[in-house]
């Protein structure tokens, strides 16, 4: 005898437009539509493992300082867990739990054999020297030796961590294993077993699903207009690749401001300008507008690729785009969802749109384990195939349940993990 879930988050929490609460609201909606057994629901809400560790290091001045580190494995039913490690003063266990769950759904949607995890260290990396950062990373890795592993849990870079951080983790893990274990992390430098195309993967994935969505709406790429918010790794690559597809990019922004040219911006020129000036503000040949104005421009495609909570219940009704491709994590709040649905905007949700990064991380792990490295062309061709397949699967699921793509994506992701769990059974 099984009991179906009919779950509703307590109202006080939902009053805040918080990205993680937003995610849980969509999770609950999808679970209710799937008619998931209450036991499975409880299982999927509870992280498999939560580790809190003290990390003592000797600072450059000779004093001992102790930091707190976290690793949360949300779920490893589909395979080893995968997720980034961030260094920031406001890292908390609760945030890690939410981000780890996000990774479970993302990996499930793109059909890669990984579970979800996230980790971090509460620290201010701007106040640490390179040597202190290295000691912090190595001691954290040593404390996590029985958590990390190419067949157990595979970290990647996230906020304020990078290729060098991954190289230190890989080296520390390898020293303890008495052999070089490249597959323990992804996002490594190429020379240490990194993959071609990894840096561009998220932006490329955004471009692939955007083109697929334009096709669904019968809009030719060469006749489409787009606006991109954020010009970092995801935004600049997505803008460049959309530009190469013939899409006219009419506006761009970064933290310092936004630029607009209805005739279209030449993206390589903007990239060149940003390399010289560190910002796109004051780019010649474009009008300066605000970030708020940028989001409300009339266009076919809007790509929020900056940060969370950009499209909210306050501005959603003012948007004039046909498609939103969420390059950033959590750029749209749960309260904005019904407003966008009412307006008929096709939203490609973050857990699908920005999953290109984790997909090429998977390729990196596969290449490390094979000891055989692919060409850039092979990486990009396989990425395109997997993103296209994921888009079609999400689209079909959304149509079947008559829900927006976001809920379709959650249904697809949760259903796969729940089915796998049922087949594996509960070990007792």
Q: Are 245 and 211 in contact (CB under 8 A)?
A: yes
223 — phi, psi (to 5°)? Answer: -110, 5
Contact with ligand NAD (CB under 6 A): which of 22, 75, 186, 354? Answer: 354
Residue 235 interacts with ligand NAD (CB under 6 A)? yes
Residues 184-203 that bind ligand NAD (CB under 6 A): 202
**Coil, strand or helix: which one is 99?**
helix
Contact with ligand NAD (CB under 6 A): which of 99, 328, 339, 348? Answer: 328
Angular region, 421: left φ>0, alpha ψ -120 to 50, beta rest = alpha
37 — phi, psi (to 5°)? Answer: -55, 140
Choose one: 141-149, 324-332, 385-393, 418-426; the region binding ligand NAD (CB under 6 A). Answer: 324-332
Residue 155 interacts with ligand NAD (CB under 6 A)? no
Would you say 177 or 279 has its CB closer to ligand NAD? Answer: 279
CA gap 105, 100 in Å, rounded: 9
Residue nearest to ligand NAD (CB): 232
Question: Binding-site residue total for ligand NAD (CB under 6 A)?
Answer: 20
Choose one: 29-37, 85-93, 227-235, 265-273; the region binding ligand NAD (CB under 6 A). Answer: 227-235
Choose one: 17-25, 91-99, 232-240, 395-403; the region binding ligand NAD (CB under 6 A). Answer: 232-240
Distance of CA 290 to the CA centre of its chain: 26
Contact with ligand NAD (CB under 6 A): which of 137, 253, 332, 333? Answer: 253
CA gap 290, 328 in Å, rounded: 19
Contact with ligand NAD (CB under 6 A): which of 291, 313, 315, 420? Answer: 291
Contact with ligand NAD (CB under 6 A): which of 305, 336, 352, 421? Answer: 305
CA gap 286, 10 in Å, rounded: 47
Residue 329 interacts with ligand NAD (CB under 6 A)? yes
Catalytic residues: 118
For 58, other C-beta atoms within 10 Å of its C-beta total: 13
Q: Are 259 and 288 in contact (CB under 8 A)?
A: yes
* Token representation of residue 267: 């993206």
Give the residues lining the site for ligand NAD (CB under 6 A). 202, 229-235, 253-255, 291, 305-307, 327-329, 354, 357
């Amino acid at each position: 005898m099984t009991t179906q879930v009919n779950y509703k988050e307590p109202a006080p929490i939902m009053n805040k437009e918080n990205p993680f609460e937003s995610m849980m609201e969509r999770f609950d909606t999808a679970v209710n539509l799937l008619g998931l057994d209450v036991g499975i629901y409880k299982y999927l809400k509870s992280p498999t493992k939560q580790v809190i560790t003290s990390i003592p290091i000797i600072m450059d001045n000779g004093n001992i300082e102790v930091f707190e580190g976290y690793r949360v494995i949300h779920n490893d039913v589909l395979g080893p867990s995968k997720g980034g490690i961030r260094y920031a003063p406001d890292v908390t266990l609760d945030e890690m739990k939410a981000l780890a769950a996000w990774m479970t759904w993302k990996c499930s949607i793109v059909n890669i054999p990984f579970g979800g995890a996230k980790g971090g260290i509460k620290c201010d990396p701007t106040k640490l020297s390179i040597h202190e950062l290295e000691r912090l990373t190595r001691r954290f890795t040593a404390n996590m030796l029985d958590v990390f592993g190419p067949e157990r849990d595979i970290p990647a870079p996230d906020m304020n961590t990078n290729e060098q951080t991954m190289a230190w983790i890989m080296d520390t893990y390898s020293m303890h294993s008495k052999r070089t274990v490249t597959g323990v992390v992804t996002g490594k430098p190429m020379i240490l077993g990194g993959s071609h195309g990894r840096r561009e993967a998220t932006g490329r994935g955004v471009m692939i699903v955007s083109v697929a969505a334009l096709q669904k709406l019968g809009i030719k790429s060469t006749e489409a207009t787009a606006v991109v918010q954020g010009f970092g790794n995801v935004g600049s690559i997505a803008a460049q690749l959309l530009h190469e597809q013939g899409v006219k990019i009419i506006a761009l922004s970064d933290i310092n401001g936004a630029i607009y040219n209805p005739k279209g911006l030449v993206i390589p020129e903007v990239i060149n300008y940003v390399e010289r000036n560190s910002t796109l503000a004051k780019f010649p040949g474009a009008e300066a507008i605000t970030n708020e104005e940028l989001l409300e421009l009339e266009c076919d495609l809007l790509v929020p690729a900056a940060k969370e909570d950009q499209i909210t219940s306050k501005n959603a009704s003012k948007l004039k785009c046909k498609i939103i491709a969420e390059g950033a994590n959590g750029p749209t709040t749960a309260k904005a969802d019904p407003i966008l649905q009412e307006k008929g905007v096709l939203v490609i949700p973050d857990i699908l749109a920005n999953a290109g990064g984790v997909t090429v991380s998977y390729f990196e792990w596969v290449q490390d384990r094979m000891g055989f490295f692919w060409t850039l062309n092979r990486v990009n061709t396989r990425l395109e195939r997997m993103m296209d397949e994921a888009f079609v699967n999400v689209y079909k699921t959304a149509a079947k349940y008559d829900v927006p793509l976001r809920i379709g994506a959650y249904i697809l992701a949760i259903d796969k993990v729940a089915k796998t769990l049922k087949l594996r059974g509960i070990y007792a």
